[in-house]
Each structure stands twice: as C-alpha cells, then as structure tokens.
Amino acid sequence: MDSAVASGSVALICGETGSIIKREGSDCSRAEKLISVISDILNEAALELKDLDLIAVSTGPGSYSGIRIGLATALGLSNSLGIQCVGFSVLEAMAYGARLPSSYIAAIPVGKNDVAWQAFNADNPGREDPRTYAELVPLASFVEHLKSRQHMRLFAQTDLLKRLGNQIPSTTPFVDAGIGMAEFVGRLASREDATNSSLQPIYLRNRDAIRLPGF
C-alpha cells in the first residue's frame, strides 16, 4: 500500500504468477478510506485478511500525513494478523520496477509545487546512484536539474508529468510510471533478496532525506 503519493493506491499480488488486483486514485491516502479499499480488493479476489502472507508499505517520501496513515494501517494489520510488515522508499521501489536500459531519475509529486526525486543506475536496478540521495525541490528547480542531466531518462508518476507539461526539456526522454505506486512497493517486497526494508518514515526537507525514528 502507498498513502504518500497523490491520492494513494493499494495492490494485491497473488501467488507464484504474481497476478495483481489494484486500486489507484481511490483516496487511499485517507485513513477512513484505506481499510475499505483493502477490503474491496480482498473481496474481488475471494480472499480474507487471514489469507495474507505479507504486508508491504511505502515509507515515503511524500505527504507527511499520508506516510503516517500508511504506516499506522500496515502495522495495525500486521500486529492483528501476526504476519510480517516491510517498508520501502517509494523511489527505490519505482527504481526496481522501472527496468530501464539507461541511468534514470525516479520522481513523484509532493504537495502542490514540490518534487521528490532520486537518480539510479540502470546496471544495478533499485540501487541509488552514489552521487545523489533523495531530494525535495520546487518544480522549477527540478526542471533545472533535468536540464543539467541531459539525455538522462525520467521515470515519473503521472500527476508529476502533467504538472511538468511542456517544461520537460527536449533532451529528457521520459516514461510514465502510472498513478499508483503500491504495485512497485509490492513487487520489491516480493523479491527474495529484498534486504533494504525499513519501517522508518522518510521525510524530505531542504533537499535532505531525514529518517526519523518511526513507529
């Protein structure tokens, strides 16, 4: 589940084939809506909460309240069901899911005018470029970053691409990551070698990724 980006999303990944049921843009960032969406997805799959094996949640960056809603809900379900809960940076999860042929920037919208972004290496999917850490910058500053990284591909959430519009430099190829980030989080969590799980929320401020003690 992801409650930190835009209106949030929930995804259910089932079985060895990895078949998926998901809800995107369903106000999953609201506490009273998230449990209802989870219940609807389980009903569609003819499953119950007790059938879940693992809960994965985005730890940010994104909306401050959204991050906390997602973590609180995930941990509440984990404790009540007695199953494992894992958390991942939404940018790292996007990077794992991107599978792009060259180095790229993963980016999401935050608030009304900010962008959280991080550069990744194509030859090591899901691992950050050691030259960059996650940053939060105004939209105009992000455009300048893109101009300074000519021909570096952009992998961005749909709402961010809409905000950027024709401001995307002509030298920046881009790929639409969709509106829901929950599937990326779930795919990363299902990796057998996914060892970078952390339930500490990621709050970005003044271009620095600050990990604060969490729940």
Take residue 125 and report the two structure tokens written for it.
């999917």
Q: What's the predicted TM-score (pTM) here? A: 0.88
pLDDT digits (tens, 9 = 90+) for 42-83: 999 999 999 999 999 999 999 999 999 999 999 999 999 999
Both structure tokens of 182:
């929950």
Question: Where do the domains of the chain lie, and which CATH numbers do they carry?
Answer: 9-90+180-211 (3.30.420.40), 91-176 (3.30.420.200)
What is the distance between the alpha carbons of residues 183 and 20, in angstroms, rounded to a whole number?
8
Of 17-21, 31-35, 54-58, least confident by mean pLDDT is 17-21
Confidence of residue 101 (pLDDT cuts 50, 70, 90): confident
Q: Are 49 and 76 in contact (CB under 8 A)?
A: no
**What's residue 170's pLDDT?**
95
